[in-house]
């Protein structure tokens, strides 16, 4: 097995990995030949596919949140191409980009920084720290870096209701994020399970006169413009309050869970759902499914009140599993002395997002994205979180790359 050497290895080429790579190059912390993004599926591809699968039309975040450096570059990109109408006005706050505009701009950023040239098309299986660097075991060449940033997102594990766990692979029941789920392929009678933004977006995008869409939700839909209060968007006393709690404590995770408005949708998405229902293209069933029986290419669904119906396709919009269950994190927990806490979450240094060693010193492994939410708060997973992680990491990575931070014995 060949081992390549580099200065910074970024694990994951989603929004966070791409943004960090751009910032590193822009700040001159590394050159192209000393940077690697390890990503098996193509830069931003996983996120783009999720947006397609749920029929998302526009972003929830404002146009200044994107993968580039200058907050106004997406707006300028739209202006230069006569696409300002793809910045959609919303009831509260700044305009938001449509999905095609966001990804066309992101592609432009990727091309401008020639990021494809730094991609190693592989999955990282393990990460171990040594005195003056980090070794990454991958499904391709192994990598040796001075520092590494984990930007692996949510992972591929999704929440499925109890009744869905034993369903055979060939049955017409899929999770919206399953690789095999293609919204182009659904039949004329579709059931969607879930009461959050994904269920609402999918319902609105699949609903049409020739198709009956039923959304089965056990609790009422909730509307909120943002996924958490604005006070969490800036480094403020609110965030300091979170960080005053013990780093890996259950309490920190609870605070994040409580302040995140998970399952809510912005008013525009709710209006689209309502329009579909008002037109009679979609039906809302306030109920809970108890059993599902596939057979003959369809699926029979029985609810807790005894009502039964059938669908050509049943789609679960039931969310993500814990991000700490990602195989890479499990392996790091098993094989290294990096500290973990409640539910296996990493213990990060609050001022730097570097993962702490057992002795409490910061390691050469840093973390960005949802996995850093105990430190960066409820917007850690969002595009904003990538910008904040960068602000904390820049000096750290510079010191680790230049060698000004001395090697230590891990």
Q: Which residues bind ligand FAD (CB under 6 A)?
A: 11-17, 38-41, 46-47, 50-51, 54, 56, 59-61, 65, 123-124, 151-154, 328, 369, 381-384
d(CA 73, CA 261): 29
Cα–chain center distance at 30: 26
CA within 13 Å, CB half, 316: 24
Q: Exposed, middle or buried, 321 (CB in 10 Å: 0-12/13-18/19+)? A: middle
Q: Which is nearer to ligand FAD, 38 or 299 (CB)?
A: 38
Minimal distance, residue 159 CB to ligand FAD, in Å: 13
In whole angstroms, give the CA distance from residue 7 to residue 244: 33
Q: Contact at 8 Å (CB) between 165 and 26?
A: no
Q: Which is nearer to ligand FAD, 205 or 382 (CB)?
A: 382
Residue 128, SS3 per DSSP: strand
Q: Which residue is nearest to ligand FAD (CB)?
A: 14
Supply the minimum distance, in Å, between the C-beta of residue 151 and ligand FAD: 5
Query: Residue holding tokens 């959609």?
Result: 88
We find the least distance from the C-beta atom of residue 325 to ligand FAD, in angstroms, to be 12
Q: Which helix (H) or strand (E) holds 33?
A: none
* Smallest distance, ligand FAD to C-beta of residue 13, A: 5
Shortest reach from residue 358's CB to ligand FAD, in Å: 23
Residue 149 or 292: the one with the smaller Cβ distance to ligand FAD is 149
Nearer of residues 155 and 299 to ligand FAD, judged by Cβ:
155
Q: Which is nearer to ligand FAD, 42 or 246 (CB)?
A: 42
Q: How far is the CB of 74 from ligand FAD (least distance, A)?
A: 12
CB 247 within 8 Å of CB 341: yes
Count Cα neighbours of 80 within 13 Å in the Cβ-side half-sphere. Answer: 9
Q: Is residue 43 within 8 Å of residue 13, measured between CB atoms?
A: yes
Residue of 77, 70, 75 lying closest to 23 (CA atoms): 70
Closer to ligand FAD by Cβ: residue 61 or 214: 61
CB closer to ligand FAD out of 255 and 329: 329
Minimum separation from the CB atom of position 289 to ligand FAD (A):
23
């Amino acid at each position: 097995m060949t081992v390549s050497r580099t200065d910074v290895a970024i694990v994951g080429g989603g929004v966070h990995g791409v943004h960090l790579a751009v910032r590193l190059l822009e700040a001159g912390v590394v050159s192209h030949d000393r940077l690697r993004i390890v990503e098996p599926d193509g830069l931003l591809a996983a996120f783009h596919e999720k947006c397609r699968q749920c029929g998302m039309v526009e972003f929830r975040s404002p146009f200044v949140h994107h993968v580039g450096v200058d907050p106004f570059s997406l707006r300028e990109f739209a202006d230069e191409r006569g696409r300002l109408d793809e910045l959609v006005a919303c009831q509260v706050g700044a305009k938001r980009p449509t999905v095609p505009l966001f990804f066309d701009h992101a592609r432009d950023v990727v091309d401008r920084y020639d990021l494809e040239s730094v991609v190693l098309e592989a999955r990282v299986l393990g990460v171990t720290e040594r005195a003056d660097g980090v070794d990454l075991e991958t499904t391709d060449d192994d990598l040796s870096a001075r520092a590494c940033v984990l930007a692996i997102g949510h992972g591929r594990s999704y929440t499925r209701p109890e009744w869905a766990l034993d369903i055979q692979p060939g049955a017409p029941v899929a999770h919206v994020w399953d690789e095999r789920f293609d919204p182009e392929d659904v039949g004329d009678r579709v059931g969607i399970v879930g009461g959050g933004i994904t269920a609402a977006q999918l319902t609105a995008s699949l609903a049409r006169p020739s198709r009956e869409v039923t959304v089965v939700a056990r609790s009422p839909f909730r509307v909120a413009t943002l996924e958490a209060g604005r006070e969490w968007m800036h480094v403020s006393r609110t965030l300091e309050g979170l960080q005053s709690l013990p780093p890996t404590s259950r309490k920190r995770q609870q605070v994040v869970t409580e302040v995140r408005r998970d399952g809510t949708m912005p008013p525009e998405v709710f209006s689209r759902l309502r329009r579909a229902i008002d037109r009679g293209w979609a039906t809302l069933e306030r109920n809970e499914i108890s059993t599902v029986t596939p057979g003959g290419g369809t699926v029979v669904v029985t609810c807790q009140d005894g009502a039964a119906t059938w669908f050509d396709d049943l789609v679960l919009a039931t969310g993500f599993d814990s991000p700490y269950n990602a195989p890479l994190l499990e392996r790091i927990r098993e094989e290294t002395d990096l500290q973990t806490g409640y539910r296996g979450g990493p213990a990060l240094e609050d001022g730097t997002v570097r993962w702490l060693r057992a002795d409490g010193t910061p390691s050469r492994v840093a973390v960005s994205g949802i996995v850093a939410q105990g430190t960066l708060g409820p917007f850690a997973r969002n595009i904003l979180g990538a910008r904040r992680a960068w602000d904390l990491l820049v000096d750290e990575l510079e010191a680790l790359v230049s060698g000004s931070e001395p090697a230590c014995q891990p």
